[in-house]
Structure formats: structure tokens, C-alpha cells
Amino acid sequence: MLRVGLTGGIGSGKSTVAARLAEHGAVVVDADRVARAVVEPGTPGLAAIAEEFGPGVITDGALDRPKLAGIVFTDDAARQRLNAIVHPLVRARTAELVAAAPPDSIVVQDVPLLVENGMGALYHLVIVVDAPVETRIRRLVDHRGLAESDARARIAAQADDDARRAAADIWLSNAGTPDETRAAVDALWTDRLAPYEENTRLRRPFSRGAPRVVDYDLTWPAQAERLLARLRLAVGPAALRVDHIGSTSVPGLAAKDILDFQAIVPTLDDSLAEPLSAAGFPRAHGFDSDIGHPPGSPETPKHVHVGVDPGRWANVHVRAQDSPFARISLLFPAWLRADDSARAEYAQVKRGLAGQHANIPAYGDAKEPWFDGAIQRAERWAAATGWRAD
């Protein structure tokens, strides 16, 4: 099962995107609809609201939403009491709907306040639907009958574009015609969502070809933060720590467009195999050890899990806490961040070797002589500066 979070500001057109995804076969769980369903007449939710706020919020056996709004939107404590009733019911009903979906489903959870509530880590991917502010205002005025001042106030009360971009794996513009939006959803389904679901369900790593060394991408840190949150949630306390490592964690450094992560565990075993696989990172066998450093040292066992999202190549290296490379993988990028000349030197080495080798194993092996000397320099830097892998 692939879980996708769908969100966007009011008037952005999420409903158009959700409807098209449903046409492709997605199981759409609409948070707003669930929130209404759990307080329908005769439900425990409605009874709890009546008990908390009095019979005045009930009209003809149903929730009188304007009356309740008049109470809670001017009183933070009252709103918190309402949320304490409704939110657990919504979570429980949503969990039931997700659990009832077939194992090969793409479950799309339409959550208006996904960004505001920091829920991105719950999903394999987050789609943010966007449209220009003036377009959204026009839609709210023309189609929902809101006053322009009300429309602007509602937009201003929600997360801004910067917050949404930080949460978005996929930024889907709905500024054009409905046909253009539907075409974008069609391509997204075919090129990314459907293969991602299948790869995750089958626990199937796949070949992506030989990556190139590219200039540093300013979006790598935000991409890494999203994946870090998901990985940390997936492994929980079984890992001592999970970090973004490798060249993409060094600002300004040219690198292959692959995000590398390290999970340090007390003992190397199979305890992370299933949670990482379910999160979209099945184990890739054949990459089961780190080369010993200094030369002649024994190899150290590790596990490698490869992300199967067609839109983002990422690896997770699982190492025991006593593995020398667990520390080196934290030290090396820390040193490169601090040493401009070393960073420039490493970029030159990478670009030179990348043009000579067609696959990652050969490229990695070719870097070892330089890397071995660099580790010694990094260790001297750590000793001089008091660096610790905190």
C-alpha cells in the first residue's frame, strides 16, 4: 500500500486532483468528510459535543455548525475542547478506512491542514496543489460565494507557500485549465505513483542507470529533511540515530543526485528490514560491507536499503554502533563542511572519476585511494577541533 498525503490552500483545487486520482483507482479518504461523518446525528461524537457545549448547538437533532462556530472560534479553550472530542474520532475512522483498503491500493488522504499539523512524515509522498492567490480568491468568491475580504482572511490564516514547499514532494500547479490539471495528474499517476506502489508492495529495488555528478542542488536539504522524518518514524527506537550523510549533506559540494542516510543500530540484525521496506526502502543485497580503513583492515558488515520512489533516488546504510564507518560517515561530511579547500578538492576528484566509470561500484572503488588519505586528514581535523558525533 502506498500512502499519499494531498493538501493545498483553500481554493487551490484539491478536489479536482482528488477526483482524478480516484478515477485512476486511488482510495481517497477526505478528512473533511470524515470530520462531518463522526458528528452525524446519532453518533457518539455528536452526543459528546452536546454534553460539552450544551443542547443549544443541536438543531433538529443535527449539529448546528454556525452556533458551534460562534463559540469555538472566539475562545481558544473551547476550540481545544472541541478538538479533543473530534480529532480522536477522525483519526480512528481514518485508520479504519485506510486499513480496509486492498493491499495494492494507493491511498490518498485529502488533509487540508496537513502542513499546519506537521503530518508529512505519515505518508510515502505529499502532493501540494497550488494556484496563484488571486486565482484562489476568484474561485472562492465566484464558486463558494465568499466575500473577497473573507477569502483573503482565510488564505492568510493558512500555511504560506514556503511552508508548503518545504512539505511538498510534488508541487502540482492548478493554475491552468481543468484539462491541464487532469493531464498533470495522469502523468503523475503513470510515472510515479503506480510504479512506486508496485515497487513498495513487491519489495523490489530497481536499476536506475548510472548517475552523473551534478552541481549542488539547493533543494537537497529540504528533500532530505522530509525523508529523514519518514525514516525516523519508520524505525522508531530500534535505531539509535538516523542522519543525512554523504555528499548531498555538504552545502556547495557537487554530487550524484542521490540522498544517502545512515541508521545506527545497537547490533546489526534484520530488525529494520520490514519497517524500512514498508516505508519504501527494501534491502538491496550484494552491498553488505564497508571497505576497511586503513588499507588491510577487515571489511565491516552493513545493510543497504534502496528507496524505490521513481522520482527520488535515496539509500539507507544501516550500521552497528561499533562499526568504524558509522563514525566516519558522520565525520567526513562534517570535515568537508568546515574545510573549503578539501571540499573543492573532493569535487574535482569526483568529477574526474565520474567521467571514467559507467557504474557506481566502479566509481566508488576508484575513489578509495583518495578517500583513505582524506579520512586521516578528517581525523586530524576532529582531534584539533574537538569534533564529536553528538
- Going across the sheet that includes 314-320, the strands are 241-245, 259-265, 314-320, 303-306
**Does the bond joining 333 to the residue before it have cis omega, within 30 degrees of 0?**
no
Q: How distant is the alpha carbon of residue 309 from its chain centre?
A: 11
Report whether 238 contacts 272 (CB < 8 A).
yes
d(C-alpha 331, C-alpha 101), whole Å: 44
Residue at 290: amino acid letter = D
Ligand-binding site membership of 42 (annotated):
no
249: annotated binding-site residue? no
Write the burial class of residue 15 (CB in 10 Å: 0-12 exposed, 13-18 middle, 19+ buried). Answer: middle
Cα–Cα distances in Å, from 168 out to 126, 226, 227? 5, 9, 11
Task: Give the single-character DSSP code of 158.
Answer: S
Q: DSSP letter for 248, please.
A: G
Residue in 68, 43, 45, 42 with CA at minimum distance from that of residue 55: 68
Measured distance CA(215)–CA(245) in Å, rounded: 17
Q: Longest Cα pair distance anywhere in the chain, in angstroms?
A: 82
CA atoms of 138 and 135, how far apart (whole Å): 5
Distance between CA atoms of residues 309 and 311, nearest Å? 5
Query: Is 373 flagged in the annotation as binding?
Result: no
12 is in an annotated binding site: yes
Angle, nearest 10°, between helix axes 133-144 and 148-157? 130
Q: Does the annotation flag 45 for ligand binding?
A: no
To the question of whether residue 15 is assigned a binding role by annotation, the answer is yes
Q: Residue 17's closest CA among 213, 198, 172?
A: 172
Annotated binding site: 11-16
Q: Which residues define the annotated binding site for ATP?
A: 11-16
